[in-house]
């Protein structure tokens, strides 16, 4: 069984597999009890947002991790996937800019990533 940090990192890798952009992980453990980590990424259109969410779901399911809830798949402008300690936010580019949850959770440290399409340090969408 994976811990929440490993689940968040695997989620970021799965998003990267489907060419999501601006991938980042926020460490919320010292800030709130609602989740340990937020994984945030973007897709360029609704089809890509859907493909990213499907691939994350399939990838985590292979390790026995399943979401308690998925919200927004029909619209695919902001898909939220709740894995308990890890909450995944997949935005289209316009919704990500509008909601800017990176700024809302600006006090949260970023987890270092080795994925290709990560959000550069110090950059907001």
pLDDT at 123 over 60: no
pLDDT value at position 119?
58
Q: Give the global pTM.
A: 0.90
Task: Give the DSSP per-residue string, the chain.
Answer: ---HHHHHHHHHHHHHHTT-EEEEEEE-TTT-SS-SEEEEEEESSHHHHHHHHHHHHHHHHTTT---SEEE-TTT-SEEEEE-SSEEEEEEEHHHHHHH-HHHHTTTSPBPP---TTBPPTT---
Position 60 scores a pLDDT of 96
Share of the chain above pLDDT 90, in %: 81
Higher-pLDDT residue of 113, 23: 23
Q: Cα dihedral angle (20, 22, 25, 28), rounded to 10 degrees?
A: -130
User: What pLDDT shows up at residue 113?
Assistant: 86
Evaluate if residue 117 carries a pLDDT over 90: no
Which CATH code for domain 4-104?
A: 3.30.460.10
Residue ranges covered by each domain of the chain: 4-104
């Amino acid at each position: 069984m994976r811990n929440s940090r490993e689940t968040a990192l695997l989620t970021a890798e799965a998003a990267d597999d489907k060419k999501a952009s601006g991938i980042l992980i926020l460490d919320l453990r010292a800030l709130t009890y609602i989740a340990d980590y937020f994984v945030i990424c973007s897709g360029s259109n609704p089809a890509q947002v859907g493909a990213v969410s499907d691939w994350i779901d399939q990838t985590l399911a292979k390790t026995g991790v399943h979401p308690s809830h998925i919200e927004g798949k029909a619209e695919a402008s902001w898909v939220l996937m709740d894995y308990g300690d890890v909450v995944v936010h997949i935005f289209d580019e316009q919704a990500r800019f509008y909601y800017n949850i990176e700024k809302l959770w600006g006090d949260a440290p970023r987890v270092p990533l080795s994925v290709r399409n990560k959000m550069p340090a110090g950059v907001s969408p």
